[in-house]
Amino acid sequence: MISALLVLLVCELAGNALHQMLGLPVPGPVIGMSILAAALAFRKGGASSRSPITGSLERTAETLIRHMGLLFVPAGVGLIAEVGVLRSEWLPIAAGLIGSTLLSLAVTGLVMHWSIRRRASRRSPDTVHDLERG
């Protein structure tokens, strides 16, 4: 588990370094997890290869996910600590939450629609017409 946590921390540090050096608009931990995902996807032997570090990463990730609720405690404490700001700025916060949720749903729907049509067109041209009718 220590080696897997080390891999996770190194990826996060690399993401933070890239964020700082390049001034990217994406948070460093997101960049780091993208680096980890790319490394796992393109590792030697393909996606099906199992190394000791891969198994350790899997067990560590499952443990972290199992205890995900604990990771939200600091965010909840931060919300309570900033209740004054929430009271005074509730309208823009609510608009941002609702707007971003609707935008996310729309983009997800469009991407799913596009990917289903693309996958169906690879199978046969008739399938696309069936999808349009039904």
pLDDT tens, per residue, the chain with 134 residues: 788 888 889 999 999 999 999 998 889 999 999 998 888 888 766 555 566 667 788 888 888 889 888 888 888 888 888 889 889 999 999 999 999 999 999 999 999 999 999 888 887 655 555 555 65
DSSP state of 123: H
